[in-house]
Amino acid sequence: MKLFEYQAKKLLAKYGVPIPRGSVATTPEQAEEIASDLGQAVVLKGQVHSGGRGKAGAVKIAKSPEQARQIAADLIGKTLFFAQAGAHLRVDTLLLEEALPIKQEIYVAITQDRASQRDVLIVSTMGGMDIELVAHENPEAISKTVIDPLLGLTDYAARDALFDAGFEKTLAGKAAGLLKGLYAAYVGTDATLAEINPLVITEEGALIAGDAKWLIDDNAIFRQPEIAALATGEDDDPIEVEARRRGIQYVRLEGGEIGIIGNGAGLVMTTMDEVKRAGGTPADFLDIGGGAKAESVRSSLEIVLSDPNVKGVLFNIFGGITRGDEVAKGIIEGLSTLNVKVPIVVRLSGTRAEEGAALLAGASIVAAQTMQEAAQQVVALANKARKS
Ligand code: GDP
Ligand code: MN
């Protein structure tokens, strides 16, 4: 899950990282009021899920509240092309902040490193620009430090990284504290990326987060209720938002009709292929994971059925640590508590498949032996239901 800059900055502030004074606006009038409250030159920044906003024309400076209102009137509702996201995005919300007297722009980030299987701290004095470009053209300008997960980001490791990046002593001391706050925020929010670019060194020598990019591990959203509650943006699919809230791995697919529920990402993808081969179109990807309990099976069925395009549901379960009887119980609970109007085809195999089949014997589902058969059945039943 991606956070907007203003959301990420609120998190940073909670962890003691200095951010500019400011507030968000969705109308030109609000923008004028905020600029007037700030009482100085302000920067207006479109809140979209992309970097490179400066180049896209979504970051502007206003010298007066009047000018802030004019810029806001021009930007709000406007669709701009963001090369970094490779997409046209509409600006609905602006973050207005005190414009910072920038002396230098620094890049700092914490993210996951595949090679070391650790979190890494990345620091570069070439901030403000695309870090991929810096990595490509000036790799020596980037300092990478692997973080020991038991020690966390220690003061000396942070200072070492800063010296390595070319910071002088006093500033390194100041920045080390900030980096520790950044790391605490990264860990505390289950982030996979926490980036400040630019970290601004002001004319007065203060350090302030000028921008923030934040990604949260979707698998951890269930234990981040405050962050999950932020995921109500208009870009987000409401069913996906609800699934995330429940901790269910669900991706909604456009234009599909066959709801798919399986265990294991590979099996779910194969099931999607089989549905296509049978002439159907998958409406979703839903992985109940390993060892799913009846309640999460029921909850998953509810999520899939909440998509009005779904004309049939296919359960494909290959039991290992996932037990067929537990899945069957979840399906039965779903049938009795949800208003199920579409055919449900179930293919169970592996651990406790027979027990599961016995439980489902009287239920209004269609049992299938193989994945191919199940896919053909659900597509045929969905077609039939649509015609009648
Ligand atoms: P991004 O392009 O989406 O990464 O948006 P940023 O928030 O990083 O802004 C892009 C650039 O605009 C920064 O690198 C700065 O050069 C400039 N900028 C942003 N905020 C300010 C500010 O408060 N004062 C000044 N002078 N420049 C700013
Ligand atoms: Mn930036």
DSSP-assigned states of every residue in 1-15? -EEPHHHHHHHHHHT
Protein residue closest via CA to atom 19 of ligand 1:
210
The whole-number average pLDDT for the span 248-257 is: 92
Burial class (CB in 10 A: 0-12, 13-18, 19+), 221: buried
Closest ligand to the CA of 43:
1
Positions of E strands within the chain = 2-3, 22-25, 42-46, 59-62, 79-82, 87-90, 94-98, 102-113, 118-124, 142-147, 191-202, 207-209, 213-216, 249-252, 258-262, 284-287, 312-319, 344-350, 366-368
The token pair that represents 21 in the structure block: 């004074």
Mean pLDDT score of the chain, rounded to an integer?
A: 94
From ligand 1's centre to the CA of 254, what distance in Å? 36
- pLDDT at position 317 is 97
Confidence tier at 84 by pLDDT (50, 70, 90): confident
The whole-number average pLDDT for the span 342-355 is: 97
Least confident of 32-46, 83-97, 124-138, 219-233: 219-233
Say if ligand 1 is within 6 A of residue 101 CB. no
CA 52 to ligand 1: nearest atom: 2
Confidence tier at 236 by pLDDT (50, 70, 90): low
Residue among 21, 48, 59 to mutate when testing ligand 1 (max atoms within 8 A of CB): 59
Protein residue closest via CA to atom 12 of ligand 1:
54
The whole-number average pLDDT for the span 302-310 is: 96
- pLDDT at position 232 is 53
User: What pLDDT, in 10s, does the model give residues 148-195?
Assistant: 999 999 999 999 999 999 898 989 999 999 999 999 999 999 999 999
| End-to-end Cα distance, the chain | 41
From ligand 2's centre to the CA of 212, what distance in Å? 7
Burial class (CB in 10 A: 0-12, 13-18, 19+), 341: exposed
Predicted confidence (pLDDT) at residue 234 exceeds the cutoff of 60: no
Rounded to two decimals, the pTM is: 0.69
Q: Which residues are catalytic?
A: 107, 195
Say if ligand 1 is within 6 A of residue 220 CB. no
- pLDDT at position 160 is 94
Say if ligand 1 is within 6 A of residue 190 CB. no
The CATH-assigned architecture of domain 21-99 is 2-Layer Sandwich (3.30)
Protein residue closest via CA to atom 13 of ligand 1:
128
Protein residue closest via CA to atom 6 of ligand 1:
211
- pLDDT at position 235 is 58
Those residues whose C-beta lies under 8 Å from the C-beta of residue 250, and which sit 6 or more positions away, are 239, 240, 243, 244, 284, 285, 286, 300, 303, 304
The whole-number average pLDDT for the span 358-385 is: 96
CATH of 1-20+101-236, one of 3.30.470.20, 3.30.70.1880, 3.40.50.1820, 3.30.930.10: 3.30.470.20
The whole-number average pLDDT for the span 351-374 is: 97
User: What pLDDT, in 10s, does the model give residues 279-297?
Assistant: 999 999 999 999 999 999 9
The partner residues of 146 in beta bridges, in order of sequence, read: 120
CA 51 to ligand 1: nearest atom: 3
Query: Whole-angstrom Cα distance, residue 99 to residue 94?
Result: 14
Fold: same for 1-20+101-236 and 21-99: no
User: What pLDDT, in 10s, does the model give residues 16-56?
Assistant: 999 999 999 999 999 999 999 999 999 999 999 999 999 99
Say if ligand 1 is within 6 A of residue 120 CB. no
CA 97 to ligand 1: nearest atom: 23
User: What pLDDT, in 10s, does the model give residues 103-154?
Assistant: 999 999 999 999 999 999 999 998 988 888 888 998 888 999 999 999 999 9
Confidence tier at 372 by pLDDT (50, 70, 90): very high
To the question of domain 247-387 being in CATH 3.40.50.261, the answer is yes
Q: Do strands 102-113 and 118-124 pair parallel, antiparallel, or not at all (unpaired)? A: antiparallel
Report the candidate in 67, 164, 66 with the shortest Cα–Cα distance to residue 122: 164
Closest ligand to the CA of 53:
1
Domain coordinates of the chain in residue numbers?
A: 1-20+101-236, 21-99, 247-387
